[in-house]
Amino acid sequence: MAGAGDAAEEAKLSGLSKIFNGNTMRGRANVAKATYASIGLLIFYFSVKPKSKK
């Protein structure tokens, strides 16, 4: 996985492709962190939003 070619591959990427690269350990970790953060935000939103009155 991690080798000498990682620096060359990262140099070609730009924007979100560089941050969320699926070929590097750092990129996969960023994808996992973003997934956990979005799930946490959804749980927070649904626990905080006001209940509807009927």
Write down the pLDDT at residue 5: 58
pLDDT in tens, the chain (54 residues): 555 555 666 668 888 888 888 888 999 999 999 999 999 999 999 999 888 877
Write down the pLDDT at residue 8: 61
Structure tokens at 33: 């962190």
Write down the pLDDT at residue 47: 94
Q: Where are the alpha helices (DSSP H) in the chain?
A: 6-12, 16-19, 25-48
Tell me how far apart the alpha carbons of residues 4 and 44 are, in angstroms, rounded to a whole number: 41
